[in-house]
């Protein structure tokens, strides 16, 4: 065992010496490996970070929530014809809210605009403010919380008062420093509203931020952002998570009656749980992960071929050195281990550089889309193992070729 350890460290020392003596060639080889690993780890890091962002964003809605939404256009199999489902109208949403007799919170909401500008005195936001209308249960069913202020009152909802709940970023932009926004009159899309509350910070995901939302009573939104065929969304949050499936069944039956769906016909609406939406997105990301892994492996295969070529050149250049070592008593196994150790060492150095750059690049993409910074330890360890494998595969043939050289012929080599 002691002899094996001595031989191992001796080969490692020779490998380091060879790398130092052929520094330019070693650097080029390291970069080949590094870029291959960086491509693989970088893409997978970004995907992991996006997956975490999906989970966190939808987790805010809670495991006991679901939404009733308009169903997308569907193509009829065989006939090629399309079936267009009606929007969810205000009357249908209101009827559901009034008739849904189940221990749950129900809110109805509608989109106003996604390109509004908010102003307060000399302060002004970018024209990317999303205005939506909702009711007194918005905070419960959306998972949002108030940082300060209060919720809508019954009178404000009934009469369409010009009051607003500001998103975190909107409030920070219009009221910088220690300014108190409560009670202030702000202008949103050329309409004046009194600020009655500020929402807590919720963060961003996929380039969109809930902190840029402004929520007003849905009656107010119908007055100020009126347009034909406004499409409402119904959000339901049960009191207990265990009753979620019962609530979905009850909601489906009730809304089929409200919509006039005939017996045997498919639902003319969609019911989606928050975790189902997240799961669907994550499942789609898995295909991207597979494609990215295949691309990364192809890149690494190219790097392995480049490493093998450079190692073969190294064997040719060091033929006399090999002859001298064999003449001094080095066995085939020792020579093979020497060159194999050099290939593995180069791969590990390249892998370390590639993993570092990959984590930085992957998290750079994550920052752009608003995802958190992560260190994907699984991919880091996988990269180390992968580099070891590439070193063995790319270095074995050159090492075997070096070990088979005849010492006499090697000493004659010019």
Q: Residue 404: pLDDT band by 50, 70, 90 thresholds?
A: confident
pLDDT digits (tens, 9 = 90+) for 306-334: 777 777 777 776 677 777 777 777 777 77
Q: Please, what sign has the CA dihedral across residues 131, 132, 137, 139?
A: negative
pLDDT digits (tens, 9 = 90+) for 145-185: 899 999 999 999 999 999 999 999 999 999 987 678 999 99
154 lies in some domain? yes
Q: Is the pLDDT of residue 58 over 70?
A: no
274 closest CA partner among 78, 62, 53, 11: 62
- DSSP-derived 3-state class of residue 332: helix
273 lies in some domain? no
Report how far residue 288's alpha carbon sits from residue 43's, in angstroms, rounded to the nearest whole number. Answer: 9
pLDDT at position 60: 57
240 lies in some domain? yes
- Going by the DSSP 8-state scheme, the letter that residue 175 receives in this structure is S
247 in the same domain as 224: yes
Domain end point (choices 206, 238, 267): 267
245 in the same domain as 370: no
How many domains is the chain built from?
2
122 in the same domain as 49: no
93 in the same domain as 159: yes
290 in the same domain as 199: no
75 lies in some domain? no
211 in the same domain as 284: no
Helices (H) and strands (E) in the chain, counts: 13, 16
170 in the same domain as 290: no
80 lies in some domain? no
Domain end point (choices 243, 267, 291): 267
Cα–Cα distances in Å, from 219 out to 108, 187, 230, 293? 11, 18, 12, 50
116 in the same domain as 262: yes
**Structure tokens, 53:** 């962002």
Range of the domain at 192: 86-267
70 lies in some domain? no
Kindly report the average pLDDT of the chain as a whole number. 80
pLDDT digits (tens, 9 = 90+) for 186-225: 999 999 999 999 999 886 654 567 889 999 998 999 999 9
303 in the same domain as 250: no
């Amino acid at each position: 065992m002691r002899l094996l350890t001595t031989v191992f460290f001796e080969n490692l020392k020779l490998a380091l010496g060879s790398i130092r003596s052929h520094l330019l060639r070693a650097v080029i080889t390291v970069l080949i490996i590094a870029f291959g690993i960086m491509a693989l780890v970088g893409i997978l890091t970004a995907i992991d970070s996006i997956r975490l962002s999906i989970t966190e964003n939808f987790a805010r809605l809670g495991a006991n929530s679901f939404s009733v939404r308009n169903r997308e256009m569907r193509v009829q199999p065989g006939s090629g014809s399309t079936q267009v489902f009606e929007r969810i109208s205000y009357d249908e949403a209101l009827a559901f809210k009034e008739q849904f007799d189940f221990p749950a919170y129900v809110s109805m909401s509608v989109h106003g605009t996604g390109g509004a500008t908010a102003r307060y005195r000399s302060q002004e936001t970018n024209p990317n403010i999303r205005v939506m209308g909702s009711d007194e249960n918005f905070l419960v069913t959306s998972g949002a919380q108030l940082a300060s202020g209060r919720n809508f009152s019954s009178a404000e909802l009934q009469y369409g008062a010009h009051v607003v709940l500001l998103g975190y970023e909107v409030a920070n932009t219009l009221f910088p420093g220690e300014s108190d926004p409560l009670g202030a009159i702000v202008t949103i899309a050329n309409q004046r509203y009194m600020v009655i509350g500020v929402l807590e910070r919720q963060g961003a995901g996929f380039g969109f931020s809930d902190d840029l939302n402004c929520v007003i009573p849905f009656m107010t939104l119908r007055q100020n952002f009126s347009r034909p065929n406004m499409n409402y969304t119904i959000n339901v949050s049960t009191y207990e998570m265990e009753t979620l499936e019962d609530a979905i069944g009850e909601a489906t039956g009730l809304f089929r009656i409200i919509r006039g769906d005939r017996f045997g016909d498919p639902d003319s609406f969609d019911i989606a749980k928050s975790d189902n939406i997240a799961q669907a997105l994550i499942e789609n990301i898995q295909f991207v992960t597979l494609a990215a892994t295949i691309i990364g492996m192809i890149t690494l295969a190219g790097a392995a071929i480049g490493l093998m070529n450079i190692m073969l050149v190294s064997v040719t250049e060091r033929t006399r050195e090999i002859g001298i070592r064999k003449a001094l008593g080095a066995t085939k196994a020792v020579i093979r281990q020497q060159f194999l150790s050099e290939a593995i060492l180069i791969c590990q150095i390249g892998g370390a550089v590639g993993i570092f750059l990959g984590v930085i690049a992957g998290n750079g993409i994550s920052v752009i889309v608003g995802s958190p910074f992560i260190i994907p330890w699984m991919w880091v360890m996988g990269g180390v193992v992968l580099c070891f494998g590439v070193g063995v595969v790319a270095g074995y043939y050159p090492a075997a070729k070096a070990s088979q050289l005849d010492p006499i012929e090697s000493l004659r080599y010019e």
